[in-house]
Structure 1
């Protein structure tokens, strides 16, 4: 992974594509994504992630020079060889297994193998009740701006998490909420945004407030629209 003097290995990312190991992507489409000018590829998904399909996707991406990180959502899909690793912590749930249960269980078994300099926690705030991640984790998605701000302060100031991920997976989110998250995170956390970005204009809107815009589902439904988001984000002022 190239080191460009940024504060972290992901610190210079403005646009990333997120690819799901459990979804099919052709070699032609993968080539277009990896050669698009995006800053990185994140591999991860909520369901159907296995060691085998994660290794397969990583090997295909590794033919390109683009940075490639793994979001470790299940220990079955924990694969060595990525440039970096994100460990999600769901902030807006009262189910302890998604805050520290699964994470500590994984560290008990694999902690001595973790490449700590290339590993970062993601504080997820899931705001779409229909998203698979919300159903699985029992996330309280009905937050107002004051409640969102409190969650961001918890992550950014008290927990000192390096990434706060505003997740609307499946639909485009409320940009006022994203603005609130960005303005609240004054302790150093980077704001990632993902959800419903299916054309350049939505990508541009999200990039106005998020440090990093994550584009996922549209890769599988409209590749040209997905590719158009790279230039939209790179030309933004965020």
Structure 2
């Protein structure tokens, strides 16, 4: 399934380590589901979450956003429409470029050299599909320019983020995303806290082709509307999906 980013205004972030709502019909109205998290995530619970969502919303694209190669396997790749690979601008080197170089180093190896590899995304996929695996995998990968703004979050801890960026720095990262790196997504992430519209307003001025996502503290229709009106192309809602499904419904613009 090709993802039409121009048609997406509401994204649901599903954390595989958290319990899903008993009634997944609450997802009806969301435009895309992003599966991933920082703590307690495994390949097994990721695949379980992906399959549960797809069973209830087969027409809605599902993306995996892995924090580690260990979360990815041939099964997860086959089950999703795309893999979103974050590049955290204000994180450490490992989380901006290090993991990506390691991943593509593994992808570039010959199949007979990676059989038994400890990296599931490569070992399983290449061993089963051979040379065609490289193009199969590449067709599903896309990069996300990321700025993590909540310093006390698990995402900030994992990515080595030590300082919150100013709106001017966020705007610079947005401009670099579109004009230099060419990622289709620029994501401002507040990880459970509400950052308000300032970063979004600053970043949106520089984005024409790149989709601007904002995530963090969206727990009402008013906050959803404020962020979208500030210039975000889509909001990402995660915590209240798991914690308060009825409130989650209110964040979906069409409802």
TM-score scaled by structure 1? 0.87
List aligned pairs for 1:1-238, cutoff 5 A: 1=1, 9-28=4-23, 30-33=24-27, 36-63=28-55, 64-65=57-58, 66-78=60-72, 79-80=76-77, 81-93=79-91, 95-110=92-107, 112=134, 114-186=136-208, 188-208=209-229, 209-230=231-252, 232=253, 234=254
**CA RMSD in angstroms, aligned pairs only:** 1.8
2: CA distance, partners of 1:141 / 1:199: 28
Aligned residues: 223
Q: Distance in 2 between matches of 1:140 and 1:9?
A: 34
Larger Cα-atom Rg: 2
Q: Which has the higher helix share?
A: 2
Contact 1:49 1:76 in 2 (8 A): no
Could you tell me how far 1:113 is from its partner in structure 2? 6.3
- The SS at the match of 1:27 is coil
- TM-score, normalised to structure 2, is 0.81
CA distance in 2, matches of 1:143, 1:32: 34
Deviates more, 1:142-151 or 1:174-183: 142-151
1:99-132 Cα distance to aligned partner (Å, 9 max, x none)? 1111221222246265333321001011111111
Q: Which SS does the other structure have where 1:178 is aligned? A: helix
Task: Indicate the structure whose relative CO is greater, using CA pairs within 8 Å and at least 6 residues apart.
Answer: 2
Q: Given that residues 90 and 163 in structure 2 are in contact (C-alpha distance below 8 angstroms), is that contact kept between their aligned partners in structure 1?
A: yes
Unaligned runs of 5+ in 2: 109-133
Aligned-residue offset at 1:50: 0.7
Measured after TM superposition, the shift of residue 41 of structure 1 is 1.0
SS at match of 1:115: helix
